[in-house]
Amino acid sequence: MEIIEIQKKASVVNSYLAEIRDVNIQKDPLRFRTNIERLGMLMAYEVSKSLDYEVRDVVTPLGVSNVNLPIDKIVVGTVLRAGLPMHSGVLNVFDRAENCFVSAYRRYTSEDRFEIELEYVATPSLDGKVLLMVDPMLATGMSLAKTILALRKYGKPKHVHVMSIIGSPEGIENLKQTIQDIDVTLWIGAIDTHLNEHKYIVPGLGDAGDLAFGCKI
């Protein structure tokens, strides 16, 4: 699994990362969602550089222009609910993409132990297509890994790009080990230091779903 950490190269991405982490700025849900959407757009642009292209003629009012255009068929997949703003940003860039939605949640078996449950999958065929799997927080990696494995029955993608904003070393390693037989590139904004006892990323930003959409019961 190839890993590309976006923040290693200085860009405006770092400004948006700082704002979604900032304990004061992140209290504004609209600003938080907007920054997540912006990060989705910027990361989608980076991913676009890895796609396959071909030169096509585009007729203008004054002549013909030769343009190098992407030819891959794209499916943008999201783990609900935290992934929705980022999905929107990615879709703003890949505006002709198909869409895949997966509902996954932590089912706690004890105070500090949980299993990932998948409740709902809505997806087109993935055969021969490029799957962009969006999940802003790569904590344990269990949700993404289980989702990617579950999607195999819907076809074999040409390539899988996992897009996350913040991740942990533990989650990345777990993802790498679980899906090692699948051709995957991980695009990640920042890799933080560790997971705490509750499996949240440290320093992280808190609960992305709650910050974007409000607390759940």
Q: What CA–CA distances, in Å, run from 180 to 45, 47, 83, 168, 171?
A: 26, 20, 23, 18, 14
Q: Beta-carbon neighbour count of residue 94 at 10 Å?
A: 22
Contacts of 20 (CB under 8 A, 6+ apart): 26, 32, 35, 36, 39, 165, 205, 211
Q: What is the pLDDT of residue 80?
A: 87
* Integer Cα distance of 53 and 141 in angstroms: 31
Q: What is the pLDDT along the chain (217 residues), one digit of tens a residue?
A: 999 999 999 999 999 999 999 999 999 999 999 999 999 999 999 999 999 999 999 999 999 999 999 999 999 999 888 899 999 999 999 999 999 999 877 666 666 666 777 878 999 999 999 999 999 999 999 889 999 999 999 999 999 999 999 999 999 999 999 998 899 999 999 999 999 998 899 999 999 999 999 988 7
Enter the tokens of residue 177.
């080990």
* Integer Cα distance of 34 and 50 in angstroms: 25
Region label for 103, one of left (φ > 0), alpha (ψ between -120 and 50) or beta (otherwise):
beta
Q: Domain with 15 in it: what CATH number?
A: 3.40.50.2020
Range of the domain at 154: 2-213
Number of domains forming the structure of the chain: 1
Residue showing tokens 């770092």: 14
Q: What is the pLDDT of residue 22?
A: 98
Q: What is the pLDDT of residue 162?
A: 98
Q: What is the pLDDT of residue 198?
A: 86
Percentage with pLDDT > 90 across the chain = 85
Residue 19 — φ and ψ, nearest 5°?
A: -70, -40
Sign, CA torsion 155/69/93/43: positive
Element housing 129 (H / E):
none
Strands 130-134 and 98-108: unpaired
Q: What is the pLDDT of residue 104?
A: 75
**Residue-averaged pLDDT of the chain:** 94
* Residue-wise pLDDT tens digits, 36-85: 999 999 999 999 999 999 999 999 999 999 999 999 999 999 988 889 99
Contacts of 200 (CB under 8 A, 6+ apart): 139, 206, 207
